[in-house]
Structure 1
Amino acid sequence: MSRRTLLKGLQLLLPAILAALVLGGFLLSRGEQASEAAREAPVRSPVRVAVENGLTMLTVDDAAQARSGIQLQALDAIQPTTGTTVYGTVIDLQPLVDLMSRYAASAADLESAKAAAEAARAELERTQALYADVQNASLKTLQAARSANAAATAKVKSLQANMSGIVASAQQQYGAIVSSWALSTASPELAHFLERREVLLRIVFPGGQTGAAPAMLKATGDNITPFDARLVSAAPQVDPGIQGQAYFYRAAAPLATGARISARAPATAAAKAGVLIPASAIVWYGGQPWAFVQTGKDQFQRRAVDPRFPQDGDFFAIEGFKPGDSVVVRGAQLLLSEESRAQAGSQPENE
């Protein structure tokens, strides 16, 4: 074959070779674009989150359920064995002691003033008799006796008003029973507290408390064994940080003034039946206990658990849950993590 013939053949094949190169480059570019798009595509979460009537609803596919090892337990109806947990403090009795001292001093002053008033009244009567008996006493002496009697009477009334104010102040702070311990000379009760044989507790019951306060509570504090607290009376004042009805209880316990205690109120006969949420179903979020309830084959609802009724790690609930509900007792924490991940993935990225 001659060189000229070879060149002529290459000229005929050149367009085909160029076309093949262009096509190959195009296909390679399309492949790289597809790979890059696949890499940049968002990963689909196995959990979808929605909010219905203020409750968080999770839709979890079968693979995510299997990965979380979800196990369920049906809730049974039970009667409460104990009531709500209540909290209180050991109150400082020094203000009551101060009121007692003021009251005792005023009582002594009042007795002295009454004696002085009686003497002034007798002197006035004597002077009036002398003045009436052909003026054996002068008018000036009579006027002085009248002034002395009026001053003595006014002092008695002033001290009586002062003592009434001390009684009212004590009752406003401590109620009638506790204040009577300090303001009655015949009551030996206050000595138990001044000698630290007993402490006085102010315990606050939740706002929904109905009926009379329990006569006895089983209470506990830091580093001491549980002790009995006996009801004294209703308290007229409460800690503004703890809303509810307050009561005074007394206890023979080695507690310092200001120490915080907790107590378990006994269940009443009228207490409602409810369900016991097992400890394994509880997850904590935002300082609040929650539990996941299965509402469908692949749907779970996170519901708040009332923290006021703990029972050895479990929680007694009378609202939000009902007998027969299936709660997640294994995998609940993973569900909470999946929920947080799904919510984070649904947030728009900042540009």
Structure 2
Amino acid sequence: MQLINGESVLTLAPDIVRASGIEIAPLAAQVTGVARTAYASIIDLQPFFDLAQRLAAAQAEREIVSGQARTSQAQYERVQALYRDDRNMSEKSVQEAQTLALSDQARMRANDITRGALLASLRQQFGDVLAQAAAQPATALFRQLSSSKAVVARVTSATMDNVPFPERIALDTPEGRRVAARQLSPSPQADPALQGVSYLYLVERSIPTGTRTFAHVAAAASGPAVAGVAIPGNAIVWYGGQRWSYVRTAPDRYTRRPVSATDEYPDGVVVTKGFHAGEAVVIRGAQLLLSEEQRPQGIATQCKDPPECDD
């Protein structure tokens, strides 16, 4: 391994490359845009779960009260019919049955008001999508959040007020990686530390509450088109919290270059610097090249017959 112009360069004979199963492919040109950076914060969902729990209790009570109301109304109608039929029931019994039926109906109306207020509070704090998830805790979204397999990020950008936020963006993690985030809804509450339009995004991984990080808005939704190249996902390796790819710069030389993604898609990334269309990138065996690069160099054995060096 050598350092040439600040880049790590491996020299491997073509026969070794073939034997190792390393494959290369030319990079394809890709039209992309200038990605914009927004600010993201992981919101505290404990108030969301508290409201969801109260809503679930109110819904359970609604079912109980509804059953009682149907029973008391039926009893009132039965007693009233008997009273009308030659006074087979006393007027007092009719009045008592009517009072109980009216009381149960009033409890139902009060429960409806309580549930409506809880749903309104959920929408006001967390938006329509999360409010619907709280009302239906059996949904996949609610299970993801309650099991800590996903978090919600509030993403704010003061420079994109007139540009709709895209369905998907990328979010920096505390470990220095990027993960995909899916839009849930506009945020009904602004970030207290920032001014601008905010949206709520679902991030399907665990990130500590209160974490502040950067979000990278998909280029197609945020700026003019520029020329770039597409790097497939199988050409990317992670090292030191950074994406890298190996480019064959000579028949026996492979150069490791950092990958600074401008845009992301399901099978890879798009870059606008560091790579050029037509360059041969390693699409199979990149991890093997990284391992070879990290292998200690210049270490020779003291024994001419290694199997006899067990002592």
Partner residue in 2 for 1:125: 77
Per the normalisation by structure 2, the TM-score is 0.59
Deviations 1:139-197 (A, max 9, x none): 11111111111101100111111111111111111111111111114412111122222
**What does residue 254 of structure 2 align with?**
none
- Between the two proteins, the alignment pairs up a number of residues equal to 199
User: Per the alignment, do residues 128 and 269 of structure 1 end up closer, same or farther by CA in structure 2, a change over 3 Å counting?
Assistant: closer
Query: 1:108 aligned to 2:60?
Result: yes
1:228 aligns with 2:180: yes
Is residue 257 from structure 1 mapped to residue 209 from structure 2 by the alignment?
yes
Please report how far the alpha carbon of residue 270 of structure 1 lies from its aligned counterpart in structure 2 after TM superposition: 7.4
The separation in 2 between residues aligned to 1:270 and 1:178, in whole angstroms, is: 26
Aligned mates of 2:172, 2:221 — CA distance in 1: 24
Looking at structure 1, the residues matched to 118 and 163 of structure 2 have their Cα atoms a distance apart, in angstroms, of 31
Partner of 1:158: 110
Q: Residue 204 in 1 paired to residue 139 in 2?
A: no
Which structure exhibits the higher relative contact order, with contacts defined as CA atoms closer than 8 Å and separated by 6 or more residues?
Answer: 2
Query: What is the identity, as a one-letter code, of the residue corresponding to 1:265?
Result: V
Q: Deviations over 1:252-298 (max 9, x none)?
A: 33410111110222334773699xxxxxxxxxxxxxxxxxxxxxxxx
TM score, norm. by length of structure 1: 0.52
After the TM superposition, which residues 1-351 of structure 1 pair with which residues of structure 2 at under 5 Å, given as runs? 81-206=33-158, 208-268=160-220, 271=223
8 A contact 1:82–1:264 mirrored in 2: no
Q: Answer yes or no: is the 8 Å Cα contact 1:215–1:231 preserved in 2.
A: yes
Change (3 A) 1:254 1:139: closer
Q: Which amino acid aligns with 2:55?
A: Y
Distance 2:57 2:50 in 1: 11
Contact 1:87 1:260 in 2 (8 A): yes
Give the Cα separation in 1 of the matches to 2:161 and 2:79: 66
- Conserved 8 A contact 1:180-1:187: no
The CA distance in 2 between the partners of 1:83 and 1:129, in whole Å, is: 75
Tell me the amino acid that sits aligned with residue 73 of structure 2.
R
Structure-2 residue corresponding to 1:12: none
**Structure ranking higher in strand proportion:** 2
2: CA distance, partners of 1:158 / 1:133: 35
Partner of 2:49, secondary structure, is helix
| Matches of 1:209 and 1:187, distance apart in 2 | 32
* Residues 142 and 253 of structure 1: CA distance in aligned 2, closer, same or farther (over 3 Å): closer
Distance in 2, matches of 1:157 and 1:168, equals 16
- Note the aligned Cα RMSD (angstroms): 2.6
Tell me: CA distance 1:273–1:117, structure 2 relative to 1, closer, same or farther (3 Å): closer
**8 Å contact 1:82–1:265 — kept in the other structure?**
no
Give the fraction of aligned pairs with identical amino acids, expressed as a percent: 29
Hey, what does 2:286 align to over in structure 1? none
Contact 1:113 1:156 in 2 (8 A): yes
* Separation in 2, partners of 1:92, 1:158: 30
